Structure 1
Amino acid sequence: MRAAEQHKLAELPEIPRKRYFAIGEVSELCDVKPHVLRYWEQEFPQLKPAKRRGNRRYYQQDDVLMVRRIRSLLYEQGFTIGGARLRLREASLKPAVSVAPLAALPTVETAAKAATAPRGGVRRASEIKRLRSDLESLLNLFPK
């Protein structure tokens, strides 16, 4: 995907404060064609707009946000339909966790550096204690 196309993906209009949106409005708000929205309704069980007279679809705020999330997974992050479906299912099963503790976790590279660092004593011991504390806090997030 070219840089101009990627830039276009990030520029979505703000969602107006309305209760219901027609499929054409959602199409414009999410930069996705209506036939793609109808297809996604079949593929993603999380996307269920209300249907009224003559099977007209009426999307709510949550539906519009879900369409944007699906669009991001497929178009920006490169997931397949099955991969995006699995990612959304996993996200709905996970308990709400704040991002702050996870952002402080070390990456694989920093953990590897800590493990291969010269035996400097205090610095290495404090790094191991911090890693252990982070891992224990992660374990406490999951029910036993």
Structure 2
Amino acid sequence: MTIQTELISTESLPPIPAKRYFTIGEVSELCNVKPHVLRYWEQEFTQLSPVKRRGNRRYYQHHEVLLIRKIRELLYDQGFTISGARNRLGEVRDMAGTDSAVRLSAKEIQQLRGDLTQILEDLDSALSFR
């Protein structure tokens, strides 16, 4: 008799409800990860730091649930080690930081202002024809 374990991919996880905070039990179900694994990941991934309230109860926010799903994907679906997943998350964060730091010259800003002013004038004249 063989025991088969069902692997649940990230695509088949349930949708995340629109809530502000999630208990460790809810996150466990949303991410298909046992609560003790979530507590372990808190020690390994510094980005993961749920709010702790009375009785050391953990409350995860939406972005942390998304992060847990990403960690799960890296470890379970892509086969990364804890260290490799930690490095990959650091790379993604670094790339996002450099992409968001777009600098515009004064001339480019002036051009954008002119374009936006023109768009506003076009919208204003289109609305006055009604």
What TM-score results when the alignment is normalised by the length of structure 2? 0.68
Structure 1 equivalent of residue 42 of structure 2: 41
Corresponding position: 1:16 with 2:17 = yes
Q: Which secondary structure state, in structure 1, belongs to the residue aligned with residue 52 of structure 2?
A: strand
| Distance in 2 between residues matched to 1:19 and 1:81, nearest whole Å | 28
| Dislocated runs of 4+, deviation >6 Å | none
Question: After superposition, where does 1:12-91 map in structure 2 within 5 Å?
Answer: 12-91=13-92
Partner of 2:93: 92
Distance 1:45 1:52 in 2: 19
Query: What is the CA distance between 1:32 and its match in structure 2?
Result: 0.2
What is the SS of the residue equivalent to 1:95? Answer: helix
Structure-2 separation of matches of 1:66 and 1:40: 11
Query: RCO higher in 1 or 2 (8 Å CA, sep ≥ 6)?
Result: 2
Unmatched 5+ stretches in structure 1: 98-144
Root mean square deviation of aligned Cα: 1.7
Q: Distance in 2 between matches of 1:16 and 1:50?
A: 18
Whole-angstrom distance in 1 between the partners of 2:96 and 2:71: 20
- Report the 3-state secondary structure (helix = DSSP H, G, I; strand = E; otherwise coil) of the residue aligned with 1:58: strand
Q: For residues 116-136 of structure 1, what are the alpha-carbon distances to aligned partners after superposition, in whole Å with 9 as ceiling and x for unaligned? A: xxxxxxxxxxxxxxxxxxxxx
Task: Report deviation, 1:5.
Answer: 3.7
1:14 to partner: Cα distance: 0.1
Tell me, in whole angstroms, the C-alpha distance in 1 between the residues paired with 2:55 and 2:39: 15
Shift of 1:95: 3.1
CA offsets, 1:80-128, max 9 Å, x none? Answer: 000000000111111365xxxxxxxxxxxxxxxxxxxxxxxxxxxxxxx
* Aligned amino acid, residue 83 of structure 2: G
Question: Secondary structure of 1:94's match?
Answer: helix
- Shift of residue 46, structure 1, vs aligned partner: 0.8
TM-score by length of 1: 0.62
